[in-house]
């Protein structure tokens, strides 16, 4: 009986030490999260103290994510995402399958990231509208529109309405199409121009294929809108096609 008691005591001590070790590991994992960091190193506190510009891309993304996954902090998850995509631009207009490799990144967090990217894009668009920037060339238009349109997966058609000094009144979406086709309506564009008291306009659309050569439909539409504009004394200054860091200008090619 004495031998059995000794074995039981040793087993109990063994279980005690194993349990203690498991708890220690769990506590270590718990303390490896962002909450265990010094306050000045935590992304949220750093932003409030030093401003958003002081944060890295990973830290900004970690604030959006808020939490990571088991054994992984939000900042570690954010670093993995940044390493995969490289830039915020590359995160935009992605497929759901591009995100499945990240443990702890569900539909809600992906939606948060994409919503933040869209807010940034719209902020830039409003900023441009409010500055009443003067347009002097196709490159002026491209510098404004390219960041918004070069990564779109479907064809989108925009119209820039200008006053008599070629300053922007408004940039409006005229049509959204499928992967390779949008159907802007000439009458609606002219009607909108009259409502805004526009003296001129510039049309812009993207080619998701990145081939910036105008199609027969592009050329026909440009001719029809030019003719309709002349009747209402609204000049079509240009029609620009956006590709991937490249563009085609009807005006620069002498077609308008």
pLDDT digits (tens, 9 = 90+) for 204-226: 999 999 899 999 999 999 999 99
Fold of the CATH domain 133-249: Cytidine Deaminase; domain 2 (3.40.140)
25-29, 130-134, 190-194: the lowest-pLDDT one: 25-29
Tokens of 184: 């802007």
Q: How confident is the model at residue 164 (pLDDT cuts 50, 70, 90)?
A: very high
Q: How confident is the model at residue 253 (pLDDT cuts 50, 70, 90)?
A: very high
What is the pTM (predicted TM-score) of this model?
0.60
pLDDT for 112-136, tens place per residue?
998 988 888 777 766 655 556 889 9
Task: Answer yes or no: is pLDDT of 42 > 50.
Answer: yes
Q: Which residue has the higher pLDDT, 124 or 91?
A: 91
For the chain, which residues make up each domain, given as ranges? 37-131, 133-249
Q: Residue 109 carries which DSSP code? A: H
* Mean pLDDT rounded to a whole number for the chain: 82
Q: State the pLDDT at residue 29.
A: 42
Dmax of the chain from CA atoms?
Answer: 111
Q: State the pLDDT at residue 200.
A: 98
Q: Is 170 helix (H, G, I), strand (E, B) or coil?
A: strand
* Orientation angle between helical segments 107-131 and 138-149, nearest 10 degrees: 160
Burial 35-71 (b: 16+ CB within 10 A, else e): eebeeeebbeebbeeeeeeebebbbbbbbebeebeee
pLDDT for 47-73, tens place per residue?
888 888 888 999 999 999 988 888 888
Distances (CA, A) of 100 to 58, 79, 81, 82, 86: 19, 16, 11, 15, 17
Q: How many residues does the chain have?
A: 256
Q: State the pLDDT at residue 126.
A: 66
Distance CA 41, CA 56 (A): 12
Q: State the pLDDT at residue 179.
A: 67
pLDDT for 132-154, tens place per residue?
688 999 999 999 898 888 888 88
The mean per-residue pLDDT over the stretch 90-119 comes to 85
């Amino acid at each position: 009986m004495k031998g059995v008691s000794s074995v039981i005591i040793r087993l109990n001590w063994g279980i005690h030490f194993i349990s203690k070790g498991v708890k220690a590991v769990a506590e270590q994992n718990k303390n490896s999260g962002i909450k265990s960091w010094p306050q000045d190193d935590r992304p949220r506190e750093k932003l409030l103290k030093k401003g958003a510009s002081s944060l890295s891309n990973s830290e900004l993304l970690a604030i959006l994510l808020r939490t990571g996954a088991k054994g992984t902090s939000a900042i570690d998850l954010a670093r993995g995402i940044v390493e995969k995509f490289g830039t915020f631009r590359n995160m935009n207009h992605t497929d759901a399958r591009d995100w499945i490799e990240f443990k702890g990144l569900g539909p809600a967090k992906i939606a948060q990231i994409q919503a933040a990217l869209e807010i940034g894009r719209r902020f830039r668009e409003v900023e441009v509208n409010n500055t009443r920037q003067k347009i002097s060339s196709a490159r002026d238009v491209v510098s404004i529109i390219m960041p918004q349109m070069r990564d779109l997966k479907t064809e989108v058609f925009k119209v820039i309405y200008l006053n008599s000094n070629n300053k922007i009144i408004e940039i409006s979406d005229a049509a959204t199409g499928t992967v390779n086709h949008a159907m802007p309506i000439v009458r609606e564009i002219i009607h909108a121009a009259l409502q805004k008291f526009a003296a001129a306009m510039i049309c812009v659309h993207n080619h998701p294929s990145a081939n910036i050569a105008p199609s027969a439909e592009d050329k026909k539409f440009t001719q029809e809108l030019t003719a309709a504009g002349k009747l209402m004394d609204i000049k079509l200054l240009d029609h620009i096609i956006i590709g991937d860091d490249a563009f085609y200008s009807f005006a620069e090619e002498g077609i308008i």
